[in-house]
Amino acid sequence: MTSARKMGLAVAQMGPVNSTDSRAGTLKRLLDMLREAKGRGAELAVFPELAFTTFFPRYWMDQSEAVARYFEAAMPNPDVQPLFDEARKLGIGFHIGYAEATPDGHFFNTAILVDKHAHIVGKYRKVHLPGHADHRPSYPFQHLEKKYFEVGDLGFKTWDFLNTRVGMCICNDRRWPETYRVMGLQGAELVMLGYNTPSRNNSYHEAPHLPDFHHLLSIQAGAYQNAMWVAAAGKVGYEDGIHMIGGSAIVAPDGEIVAKAAGDTDDEVIFFNVDFARCDGPREYMFNFAKHRRTEHYGLIVEQTGMAERIA
Ligand code: CDV
């Protein structure tokens, strides 16, 4: 499509991927959405975090069992090769999340960027791992990302892609302002992310409307404060009995949502013709980093991790 500063962008929200679903069935759903995205004019389709499987960190099991059932030892591999073949055939890029087992025995929650020739051109490994590493049987479900994954070791890189600069993050990363700023400082105009967010927190009480609100609040703030586009793809509906929030969205650099998934159960593709020129005004004025940022006052952000203790 279009000019150098535009991109047809699709976000593919997934309905549940249940533990009992076949790999082949899930792949077919991804292929169908990739074709729909292309049919609607997309040059890039963004899929969720851990898109090939259920969100398995909600289950306690040995690492060896998790690796055998849920991790990918190579990317691509025969199970997922048809997605790469279809992307090449259609001439469309995609972003997708999966559990990565490296040849030297490391485990990451990973996302890749694949171009229209089906070449992997970027890789990101999740930095902010939520949850816990120990088994908590009193919880309604587990969130064991700290058990199954290591903290990502690639940082928040950016890539020149389709005449713009893009970056990636995964799920919980979207709640941390540092995520977007590190990529914004590199000139990223689009951040892609996949997520698996349950409607109910597993460890403390929140009002039922808050998970949706916090999701949108985070991606809209990240987009606005860095004058960038954000494309967020999640899962929706009851996955293995746990409800996922959905709400996949494309957010413009002014923080406004320009496309949002409406469904509450099924796979759904949303689309927007993104114009990267919309980054320019805010980058020249309100969020002109070079002019207005005051790094001499930001030292604590990298010097300190936790919050200072409150003085009684
Ligand atoms: N997959 C995630 O990172 N999920 C978290 C949960 C713990 C709320 C999220 O931030 O959405």
Alpha carbon distance 101, 77 (integer Å): 12
The tens place of each residue's pLDDT in the chain, 312 residues long, gives 445 799 999 999 999 999 999 999 999 999 999 999 999 999 999 999 999 999 999 999 999 999 999 999 999 999 999 999 999 999 999 999 999 999 999 999 999 999 999 999 999 999 999 999 999 999 999 999 999 999 999 999 999 999 899 999 999 999 999 999 999 999 999 999 999 999 998 889 999 999 999 999 999 999 999 999 999 999 999 999 999 999 999 999 999 999 999 999 999 999 999 999 999 999 999 999 999 999 999 999 999 999 999 877
**pLDDT tens digit sequence for 182-220:** 999 999 999 999 999 999 988 899 999 999 999 999 999
In ligand 1, the atom with minimum distance to the C-alpha of 174 is: 10
For ligand 1, say whether the CB of 149 is within 6 Å of any of its atoms.
no
Please, what sign has the CA dihedral across residues 133, 137, 142, 148? positive
Domains of the chain, by residue range, sit at: 6-303
| Of residues 112, 119, 98, 116, the one with CA closest to residue 42 | 116
CATH architecture under which domain 6-303 falls: 4-Layer Sandwich (3.60)
Number of the ligand 1 atom closest to the C-alpha atom of 128: 3
Q: Which ligand 1 atom sits nearest the alpha carbon of residue 171?
A: 3
C-alpha pair distances (Å), 53 with each of 48, 231, 280: 10, 21, 39
Q: Does 215 sit in the ligand 1 pocket, CB within 6 Å?
A: no
Decide whether any atom of ligand 1 lies within 6 Å of the 143 Cβ: yes
What's the gap in Å between 234 CA and the centre of ligand 1?
11
Ligand 1: which residue has its CA nearest to atom 3? 172
Catalytic positions, please? Answer: 49, 126, 171
